[in-house]
Protein backbone atom coordinates (compact mmCIF):
# COMPACT_ATOMS: atom_id res chain seq x y z
CA UNK A 1 0.00 0.00 0.00
CA UNK A 2 2.30 2.72 -1.28
CA UNK A 3 0.98 6.23 -1.65
CA UNK A 4 2.94 8.85 -3.55
CA UNK A 5 3.85 11.90 -1.51
CA UNK A 6 3.01 15.35 -2.76
CA UNK A 7 5.90 17.80 -3.14
CA UNK A 8 4.70 19.63 -0.02
CA UNK A 9 4.56 16.39 2.03
CA UNK A 10 8.00 15.31 0.81
CA UNK A 11 9.50 18.72 1.64
CA UNK A 12 7.93 18.67 5.09
CA UNK A 13 9.06 15.10 5.75
CA UNK A 14 12.63 15.86 4.64
CA UNK A 15 12.72 19.03 6.76
CA UNK A 16 11.43 17.35 9.90
CA UNK A 17 13.80 14.43 9.37
CA UNK A 18 16.79 16.73 8.89
CA UNK A 19 15.94 18.66 12.06
CA UNK A 20 15.46 15.42 14.02
CA UNK A 21 18.73 13.94 12.73
CA UNK A 22 20.50 17.16 13.74
CA UNK A 23 18.79 17.00 17.16
CA UNK A 24 19.92 13.39 17.52
CA UNK A 25 23.51 14.42 16.72
CA UNK A 26 23.40 17.20 19.31
CA UNK A 27 21.89 14.90 21.94
CA UNK A 28 24.56 12.32 21.07
CA UNK A 29 27.17 14.81 22.30
CA UNK A 30 25.52 14.86 25.74
CA UNK A 31 27.12 11.69 27.04
CA UNK A 32 27.17 11.25 30.80
CA UNK A 33 28.85 7.86 30.25
CA UNK A 34 31.24 7.22 27.35
CA UNK A 35 33.01 3.92 26.67
CA UNK A 36 36.69 3.97 25.64
CA UNK A 37 36.29 2.28 22.22
CA UNK A 38 32.91 3.70 21.27
CA UNK A 39 29.43 3.45 22.69
CA UNK A 40 27.88 5.72 25.25
CA UNK A 41 24.84 6.44 27.33
CA UNK A 42 23.32 9.63 25.94
CA UNK A 43 20.53 12.00 26.83
CA UNK A 44 17.69 10.70 24.61
CA UNK A 45 19.75 10.78 21.37
CA UNK A 46 17.88 7.88 19.79
CA UNK A 47 14.40 9.29 20.49
CA UNK A 48 14.32 11.63 17.47
CA UNK A 49 15.28 8.72 15.18
CA UNK A 50 12.58 6.52 16.69
CA UNK A 51 10.01 9.29 16.20
CA UNK A 52 10.94 9.59 12.52
CA UNK A 53 10.22 5.87 12.15
CA UNK A 54 6.95 6.29 14.04
CA UNK A 55 5.73 9.27 12.01
CA UNK A 56 6.94 8.37 8.52
CA UNK A 57 7.23 4.60 8.51
CA UNK A 58 10.01 2.12 9.06
CA UNK A 59 11.60 2.53 5.62
CA UNK A 60 11.97 6.27 6.01
CA UNK A 61 12.98 5.75 9.64
CA UNK A 62 15.69 3.25 8.71
CA UNK A 63 17.11 5.59 6.07
CA UNK A 64 17.11 8.53 8.50
CA UNK A 65 18.80 6.43 11.18
CA UNK A 66 21.39 5.27 8.66
CA UNK A 67 22.11 8.91 7.75
CA UNK A 68 22.59 9.63 11.46
CA UNK A 69 24.93 6.65 11.70
CA UNK A 70 27.08 7.87 8.82
CA UNK A 71 27.21 11.40 10.27
CA UNK A 72 28.08 9.97 13.68
CA UNK A 73 30.86 7.90 12.10
CA UNK A 74 32.30 10.95 10.32
CA UNK A 75 32.02 13.26 13.34
CA UNK A 76 32.97 10.92 16.16
CA UNK A 77 34.02 7.51 14.86
CA UNK A 78 36.72 7.85 12.21
CA UNK A 79 39.39 7.21 14.83
CA UNK A 80 37.97 3.69 15.23
CA UNK A 81 39.32 2.81 11.79
CA UNK A 82 42.86 3.00 13.20
CA UNK A 83 42.10 0.09 15.56
CA UNK A 84 41.08 -2.38 12.84
CA UNK A 85 42.68 -3.50 9.60
CA UNK A 86 41.49 -5.14 6.41
CA UNK A 87 38.55 -4.46 4.13
CA UNK A 88 36.26 -6.93 5.90
CA UNK A 89 36.91 -5.28 9.26
CA UNK A 90 36.28 -1.84 7.77
CA UNK A 91 32.99 -2.99 6.24
CA UNK A 92 31.86 -4.58 9.52
CA UNK A 93 32.78 -1.36 11.33
CA UNK A 94 30.88 0.83 8.85
CA UNK A 95 27.75 -1.31 8.68
CA UNK A 96 27.52 -3.01 12.10
CA UNK A 97 28.65 -0.07 14.23
CA UNK A 98 27.13 2.79 12.27
CA UNK A 99 24.98 2.37 9.15
CA UNK A 100 22.74 -0.55 10.17
CA UNK A 101 23.13 -0.02 13.92
CA UNK A 102 21.54 3.42 13.78
CA UNK A 103 19.22 2.57 10.90
CA UNK A 104 17.35 -0.05 12.92
CA UNK A 105 16.29 2.61 15.45
CA UNK A 106 13.88 3.78 12.75
CA UNK A 107 11.99 0.51 13.23
CA UNK A 108 10.32 2.08 16.26
CA UNK A 109 7.26 2.63 14.07
CA UNK A 110 6.92 -1.11 13.46
CA UNK A 111 3.81 -1.48 15.62
CA UNK A 112 2.06 1.76 14.71
CA UNK A 113 -1.53 0.94 13.65
CA UNK A 114 -0.96 -2.67 14.78
CA UNK A 115 -1.21 -2.12 18.54
CA UNK A 116 -3.99 0.19 19.66
CA UNK A 117 -2.20 1.61 22.71
CA UNK A 118 0.29 4.16 21.31
CA UNK A 119 2.56 4.00 24.36
CA UNK A 120 2.84 0.22 24.14
CA UNK A 121 3.31 0.37 20.35
CA UNK A 122 6.15 2.92 20.44
CA UNK A 123 7.70 1.35 23.53
CA UNK A 124 7.79 -2.09 21.92
CA UNK A 125 9.03 -0.65 18.61
CA UNK A 126 11.79 1.30 20.38
CA UNK A 127 12.77 -1.84 22.30
CA UNK A 128 13.01 -3.85 19.05
CA UNK A 129 15.09 -1.09 17.42
CA UNK A 130 17.44 -0.89 20.42
CA UNK A 131 17.73 -4.69 20.62
CA UNK A 132 18.68 -4.84 16.94
CA UNK A 133 21.20 -2.03 17.47
CA UNK A 134 22.70 -4.00 20.35
CA UNK A 135 22.92 -7.09 18.12
CA UNK A 136 24.78 -5.07 15.47
CA UNK A 137 27.32 -3.88 18.03
CA UNK A 138 27.53 -7.38 19.51
CA UNK A 139 28.38 -8.86 16.10
CA UNK A 140 30.99 -6.17 15.62
CA UNK A 141 32.37 -6.96 19.07
CA UNK A 142 32.81 -10.69 18.45
CA UNK A 143 34.34 -10.15 15.02
CA UNK A 144 36.51 -7.07 14.72
CA UNK A 145 36.88 -6.10 18.39
CA UNK A 146 37.60 -9.62 19.68
CA UNK A 147 41.29 -8.82 20.22
CA UNK A 148 40.31 -6.63 23.16
CA UNK A 149 38.85 -9.61 24.99
CA UNK A 150 42.23 -10.97 26.10
CA UNK A 151 42.03 -11.99 29.72
CA UNK A 152 38.26 -12.25 29.55
CA UNK A 153 36.31 -15.47 29.22
CA UNK A 154 36.00 -14.86 25.53
CA UNK A 155 34.96 -12.54 22.78
CA UNK A 156 31.26 -13.32 23.29
CA UNK A 157 31.33 -12.38 26.98
CA UNK A 158 33.46 -9.33 26.21
CA UNK A 159 31.07 -8.11 23.52
CA UNK A 160 27.99 -8.87 25.63
CA UNK A 161 29.25 -6.97 28.67
CA UNK A 162 30.87 -4.10 26.79
CA UNK A 163 27.94 -3.41 24.46
CA UNK A 164 25.26 -4.39 26.97
CA UNK A 165 26.80 -2.02 29.50
CA UNK A 166 25.79 1.03 27.54
CA UNK A 167 22.92 -0.33 25.42
CA UNK A 168 20.78 -1.44 28.38
CA UNK A 169 20.56 2.06 29.93
CA UNK A 170 20.34 3.60 26.45
CA UNK A 171 17.38 1.32 25.67
CA UNK A 172 15.58 2.26 28.88
CA UNK A 173 16.19 5.98 28.24
CA UNK A 174 14.94 5.66 24.65
CA UNK A 175 11.75 3.82 25.60
CA UNK A 176 10.94 6.34 28.33
CA UNK A 177 11.64 9.27 25.99
CA UNK A 178 9.54 7.82 23.18
CA UNK A 179 6.57 7.11 25.43
CA UNK A 180 6.79 10.60 26.95
CA UNK A 181 6.95 12.40 23.59
CA UNK A 182 4.31 10.27 21.85
CA UNK A 183 1.80 11.40 24.48
CA UNK A 184 2.47 15.14 24.03
CA UNK A 185 -0.23 15.94 21.49
CA UNK A 186 1.02 19.40 20.39
CA UNK A 187 4.45 17.98 19.51
CA UNK A 188 3.05 14.98 17.67
CA UNK A 189 0.59 17.21 15.81
CA UNK A 190 3.53 19.24 14.48
CA UNK A 191 5.50 16.28 13.16
CA UNK A 192 2.95 13.68 12.10
CA UNK A 193 1.72 13.77 8.52
CA UNK A 194 -1.80 14.87 7.94
- Rounded Cα distance, 99 and 92, in Å: 10
CATH number of the domain at 50, please: 1.10.1760.20
Which pLDDT score, from 0 to 100, does residue 151 have?
A: 58
Mean pLDDT, range 98-122, rounded to an integer: 96
**pLDDT, tens digit (0-9, with 9 covering 90-100), for 146-186:** 777 765 568 888 899 999 999 999 999 999 999 999 999 88
Mean pLDDT, range 12-31, rounded to an integer: 94
Beta-bridge partners for 41: 33
For residue 27, tell me if it sits in a domain.
Answer: no
For residue 90, tell me if it sits in a domain.
Answer: yes
For residue 164, tell me if it sits in a domain.
Answer: yes
Which pLDDT score, from 0 to 100, does residue 182 have?
A: 93
Largest CA distance in the chain: 58
Which pLDDT score, from 0 to 100, does residue 2 have?
A: 55
Q: Measure CA of the first residue to CA of the last residue in the chain; give whole Å.
A: 17
- Which residue segment(s) compose the domain that 83 sits in? 43-191
**pLDDT, tens digit (0-9, with 9 covering 90-100), for 118-142:** 999 999 999 999 999 999 999 999 9
**Number of domains the chain contains:** 1
Amino acid sequence: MSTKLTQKQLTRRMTVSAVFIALSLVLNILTPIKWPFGGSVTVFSMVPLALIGWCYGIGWGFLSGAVMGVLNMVIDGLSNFSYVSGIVAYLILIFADYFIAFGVIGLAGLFRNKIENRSVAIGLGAFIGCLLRFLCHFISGVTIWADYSKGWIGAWVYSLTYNGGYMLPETIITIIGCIAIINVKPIMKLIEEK
